[in-house]
Structure 1
């Protein structure tokens, strides 16, 4: 799939795949190798199956704590920097999810992404999620 010359398009595709729970599309949006840094243990996933491994752990953690129905909305990017074939994106987020039957809103999160532009377009090479604060919806 060809992407426009904008790393935010790739970030949007990744988040859309997350919101659909489409692990194959998550992986397709990523370069190899891929690295993920997130707030849940084991905190770091890397390698060719990083997205699939992270998603498996998201579902296991959700089952453990009673969370499901995750949905991330991206805000207006703080940074979309491109230097040659390297991209860097910092975008605020709002995530909603169900926690034991109660709708929760997480405001103030930040999604930071490094990308590489190649023959197949922009691909995520690494991302980090910084949590916001949770409150009932």
Structure 2
């Protein structure tokens, strides 16, 4: 392996946090700082020890408005955005929706329910809600 950039001083920083949400907020702040100083989001990765770290980390990144593309077993399909898209596909083909894909319970998707799901999942302003309703007609 060869270096792709020259050394810019200290590359490793040690810190600790008492609570998981504080640690996640510190990571989000570091990413915000790196991006503000010219590093593209696509060039930043976060490695975690286990799945238990994902919820606080995803929340902190979302709160800081940092785009994230989770990989691995993150519970990605349990996120509100993924769930509303799954419901949309089921609605389009007139199929009952099963939460998480494996549930025995099924629910009928209605246009009004789907619009409300979009509003919640994407925090849509009221002006956008009518546009979504038009698109679903």
- TM-score normalized with structure 2 length: 0.22
Whichever structure has more helix as a proportion of its residues is 2
**Larger relative contact order, structure 1 or 2 (CA cutoff 8 Å, min sep 6):** 1
Whichever structure has more strand as a proportion of its residues is 1
- TM-score normalized with structure 1 length: 0.22
Greater radius of gyration (CA): 2
